[in-house]
A = this chain, B = another copy of it.
Amino acid sequence: MTLSKKETTPNYCLEVESALKYGIEEKVMQMFTPLSHATSIGKKMDVRVATLAENFLEVNNTSTDIDIDSLVEKFADSNVPIEPSNFDSYFEYLANNVVSHSVQTSSPKFIGHMTSALPYFVQPLAKLMTAMNQNSVKIETAKALSFYERQALAMMHRLIYQFGDRFYAQHAQNSESTLGILVSGGTTANITALWCARNAFLGPKDGFLGVETEGLTAALDFYGYKGAVIIGSELMHYSFDKAADLLGIGTRGLVKIPANREGRVDISALRQAVAQCRLQNQYIIAIVGIAGTTDSGGVDALSDIAEIAQQNNIHFHVDAAWGGPLIFSKQHGHKLAGIERADSVTIDGHKQLYLPMGIGMLFLRDPHLAKAIEKQASYTMRKGSFDLGKRALEGSRPGMALFLHAGLNLIGSQGYEFLIDEGIRKTQYMADRIRSMPEFELLAEPDTNLLIYRYIPEPLRGLVAKKQLTEIDNLLINEFNENLQKNQRQTGHTFISRTTKIISEFDKKIPVIALRAVIANPLTTEDDIDIVLNEQIEIALKLQFQFL
């Protein structure tokens, strides 16, 4: 930021410096005084920020049309201000430069990513969490919160696995058991799942200390495997690439099985891959099932995958980061059938549980599986303690359980059911609209509340209907849709994202650029959906003029 030049000038004489320093001490100490929120400056900040937040949430557009170059210029200065900046000028700066050019993820017409409006209670809770400043890594810095977190995770575990009262009485608040791990996001949850699976199956045996201690090469050698793989749909989230890379098996060890048009993995191809890996003496760390692909929301046939995993005694992980909350729905929960047979399940709180960013969760069927990754340290996290950091990838972390527990209580299972049902209902509405409009082509029947489609320029519509598009036509349509999406995003009234589907046609794999809608915001109405589609038609007409 550039407040005033004076503040970044380091060449003042020592006398001035010590005079300044006196002021600085006072200023700094004032910031830490617990009563400062009752003082005028604290109150002023509260009101200022509340108004800023309020105004932000009232904006009707999805973003401003500021371009990248202007943003680059705004944030170019890399000097740390020497003196404490004045609150008023900093918040003014924040309002004009950051808040104003942020993305209106809560806009009913921002229907392109898995980020949407949040229930209002998360705002005061965020303040409370920060005021409490608990560190969930250990009991000494998180006392009640450790048990409260375990309770919230047990609730979610119960929704997935539906074990009985006795099971939860035994494990929910038992320091030896880990029903779930709260992490910063789905990526960390997926990595942790595969880490647990790798370490548990290649563990200590007959004097060998296990992969955790002796490393992957030695472990594969000891157990007599040629290599290690993870098997799942080609639509697996890119966090699995990260996991394969991190865990030392390499992304080549990620065996990707084709998915059909609706985004569901080909079960017989999956079965074949498992057999082939076994034949090649590859150790299969896990089979991954997806409950809601990031790409188009497809849900794999989880029961079929569970069957294969069980028959072969392989860890079955379900990435339900997006689709997990379908378990709340009587109408749609059946799509997740088989998830209860998973050894581990990832769910994101900041997606369809409508909680703030930074809440990933991993659930474990076996309450003792996480012991495979347990670590200790003398200054913290002692054996036998309730220190939650013992069995986790992360160390110090905020008390995000506040949001999860509050969400489960303040929204309730019926509240979540309503949110899920509504999202899918409106997605069906959008699919119907797209089918009925000559301008668009629906690219897949939606399983959940993600939808992929594309705009077809007028001269090519006949060919689409007759299924006579050439490869060149497809490339033209791709280019057109990419321009359409960029144009819509830059205009900033409405927002739809885009993705690239790889489709088999003309005897080869060809890329199809798709427009991608995510209908999760409860505030999005059918009218909003119509507005988004109509804006696309409007933009397309302008582009078509250039295109022809």
Contacts and interface: CB of A to CB of B under 8 A. Distances in A.
Interface in A112-157: 112-115, 117-136, 140-148, 150-151, 154-157
A103 B140 contact: yes
A413 B75 CA distance: 18
B250 A213 contact: yes
A5 to B, nearest CB: 15
Among A48, A209, A358, find the residue whose CB has the most chain B CB atoms closer than 10 A.
A358
A123 B46 CA distance: 8
B158 A79 contact: yes
Contacts of A237: 377, 395
Contacts of A413: 80-82
Contacts of A106: 34, 133
A255 interface: no
Given A134-B105, A413-B81, A45 B238 contact: no
A143 B63 contact: yes
Contacts of A105: 132-135, 141
A272 interface: no
Nearest to A195: B246
Contact of A185 (B129, B144, B199, B397): B397
Interface in A50-92: 50, 52-54, 56-58, 63, 66, 68, 71-72, 74-85, 87, 90
A394 B75 contact: no
A261 interface: no
B77 A54 contact: no
Contacts of A247: 246-248
Given A350-B396, A412-B24, A250 B186 contact: no
A481 to B, nearest CB: 13
Among A28, A81, A115, A411, find the residue whose CB has the most chain B CB atoms closer than 10 A.
A28
Contacts of A499: 378-379
A188 interface: yes
A50 B127 contact: yes
A229 B246 CA distance: 15
Given A1-B409, A127-B50, A358-B397, A295 B187 contact: no
Among A72, A80, A252, find the residue whose CB has the most chain B CB atoms closer than 10 A.
A80
Contacts of A121: 31, 45, 87
Given A76-B173, A77-B151, A127-B53, A497 B71 contact: no
Nearest to A245: B212
A78 B31 CA distance: 40
8 contacts: A7-B412, A32-B521, A37-B53, A49-B127, A216-B217, A216-B250, A242-B393, A246-B246
**10 closest cross-chain pairs (CB), A and B:** A248-B248, A215-B250, A53-B131, A357-B398, A49-B124, A101-B144, A31-B119, A216-B248, A187-B395, A379-B499
